[in-house]
């Protein structure tokens, strides 16, 4: 890998891929700036070491061709937020023909920061088009990848671009790899994996990788519903993945002790929250969080862990009635300051933004910006954008 140094960036025109795909409210205000804030140190490093120009590339959402240059997918709200955060003049370029970008960018060569419009507005991006990448490379001297969270994508601004410029791993990207390696390769027992979220299909590579290594696998979220359904428990009206039932049946036959919640928070047919034990779920119930007894059990297991991996909320985190499971698990991980822990995934990290949930993050806990990328890396699958940097 090529790593950043002051000599590398000094007096260079820098092209940097970032991930500013963050949550906005209905008024277009940034409500979760975690990924932006984690990129600021690298931007400051480039400024301090006199980069001649800094061009930032990001995507936002998943626009399709009919939505290209639609304000719904514009990076302009993020640009406005970034300008306030950096407390300096930066520039925003929204250009429909990518061949015109170079002409506009080259007007700036005095250390300015330029944010380009949503890179996914160009169909060539997701096709990993080399001509498109060559055009982006034409106005820069070096390329930096600071977008670990999308490194599992084979896109032009992540992969093809590396064929045309000297390419470097950003500080955040490097930190992600170093911390995930502690879980992937240097874990200590007891090793506890906590897995939740909506879809078992997305989490299955992670579960399958660690079910033979971990000591405990604690399950929540809609993943729990699929496993319970596969094991012939009544789950009522709860969401589950029918196509994953066969695979879910076999998850209890490996090394890790698979722990399923024995009591659950459900929404009944009257829209009231109830606590139900397994075996008491009614056909009209909807499971939306783990119950208090399960939560106590999970916390006791976390308390004695030496390595912890947490990916995916345990309840419907956007509803305050079903946030407790996720919040309490985060607190339990933080309280265990003897364990090396990684918490990752966009929905999981929303637990840190819930009003009145105050967390002091110790050095033993690493918050990953990645979701899908984190899962694939920990499952030892190849990340195209990482492979291109080797």
222: region left, alpha or beta (phi > 0 left; psi from -120 to 50 alpha): alpha
Rounded to whole angstroms, the Cα distance separating 262 from 138 reads 59
Query: Which is it for strands 273-277 and 263-267: parallel, antiparallel or unpaired?
Result: antiparallel
pLDDT of residue 346: 78
Q: How many angstroms separate the CA atoms of 306 and 320, rounded?
A: 30
Q: Is 92 left (phi over 0), alpha (psi -120 to 50) or beta?
A: beta
pLDDT at site 205: 82
pLDDT value of position 335: 95
Length of the chain: 390
**Helices (H), ranges, the chain:** 6-9, 34-48, 76-86, 101-105, 123-126, 130-137, 171-184, 200-210, 221-230, 245-249, 292-303, 324-335, 346-349, 372-378, 384-387
Residue-level pLDDT at 356: 64
User: What's the confidence (pLDDT) of residue 204?
Assistant: 83
- Give residue for tokens 């090793």: 191
**Is residue 326 within 8 Å of 278, Cβ to Cβ?**
no
Q: Phi and psi dihedrals of 139, rounded to 5?
A: -110, 20
CA distance 248 to 252: 8
What was the pLDDT predicted at 345? 84
Contacts of 181 (CB under 8 A, 6+ apart): none
Q: CB 203: neighbour CB atoms within 10 A?
A: 22
With a threshold of 0.85, does the pTM exceed it? yes
Splitting the chain (390 residues) into consecutive groups of 10 residues, what average pLDDT does each group show? 94 97 91 92 96 97 91 95 92 95 93 97 97 97 97 97 98 95 91 90 84 92 93 95 89 82 96 96 97 98 97 93 95 94 88 75 92 90 94
Q: How many CB atoms lie within 10 A of CB 199?
A: 16
Query: Which domains are present in the chain?
Result: 6-169 (3.40.50.1260), 177-378 (3.40.50.1260)
Q: In the prediction, which pLDDT does 180 show?
A: 95
- Report the distance separating Cα 271 and Cα 320, nearest Å: 14
pLDDT value for 202: 82
d(CA 324, CA 157): 39
């Amino acid at each position: 890998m090529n790593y950043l140094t002051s000599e590398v960036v000094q007096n260079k025109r820098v092209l940097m891929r970032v991930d500013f795909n963050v949550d906005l409210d209905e008024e277009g205000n940034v409500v979760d700036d975690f990924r932006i804030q984690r990129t600021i140190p690298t931007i400051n490093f480039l400024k301090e070491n006199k980069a001649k120009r800094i061009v930032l590339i990001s995507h936002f959402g998943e626009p399709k061709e009919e939505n290209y240059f639609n304000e719904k997918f514009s990076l302009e709200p993020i640009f406005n937020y970034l300008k306030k955060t950096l407390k300096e003049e930066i520039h925003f370029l929204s250009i429909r023909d990518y061949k015109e970008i170079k002409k506009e960018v080259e007007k700036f060569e005095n250390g300015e920061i330029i944010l380009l419009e949503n890179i996914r507005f160009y169909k060539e991006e997701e096709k990993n088009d080399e001509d498109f990448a060559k055009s982006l490379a034409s106005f820069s001297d070096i390329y930096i990848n600071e977008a670990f969270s999308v490194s599992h994508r084979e896109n032009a601004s992540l992969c093809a671009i590396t064929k045309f410029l000297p390419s470097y791993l950003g500080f955040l990207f490097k930190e992600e790899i170093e911390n995930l390696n502690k879980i992937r390769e240097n874990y200590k027992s007891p090793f506890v994996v906590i897995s939740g979220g909506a879809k078992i299909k997305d989490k299955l590579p992670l579960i399958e990788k660690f079910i033979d290594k971990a000591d405990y696998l604690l399950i929540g979220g809609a993943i729990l519903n699929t496993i319970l359904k596969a094991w012939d428990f009544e789950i009522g009206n709860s969401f589950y993945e029918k196509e994953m039932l066969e695979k879910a049946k076999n998850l209890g036959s490996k090394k890790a002790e698979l722990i399923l919640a024995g009591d659950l928070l459900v929404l009944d047919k009257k829209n009231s929250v109830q606590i139900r034990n397994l075996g008491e779920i009614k056909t009209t119930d909807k499971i939306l969080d783990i119950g208090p007894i399960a939560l106590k059990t999970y916390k006791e297991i976390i308390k004695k862990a030496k390595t912890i991996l947490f990916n995916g909320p345990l309840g419907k985190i956007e509803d305050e009635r079903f946030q407790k499971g996720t919040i309490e698990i985060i607190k339990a991980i933080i309280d265990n300051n003897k364990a090396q822990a990684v918490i990752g995934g966009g929905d999981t990290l929303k637990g840190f933004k819930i009003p009145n949930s105050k967390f002091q993050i110790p050095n033993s806990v690493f918050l990953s910006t990645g979701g899908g990328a984190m899962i694939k890396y920990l499952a030892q699958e190849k990340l195209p954008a990482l492979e291109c940097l080797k």
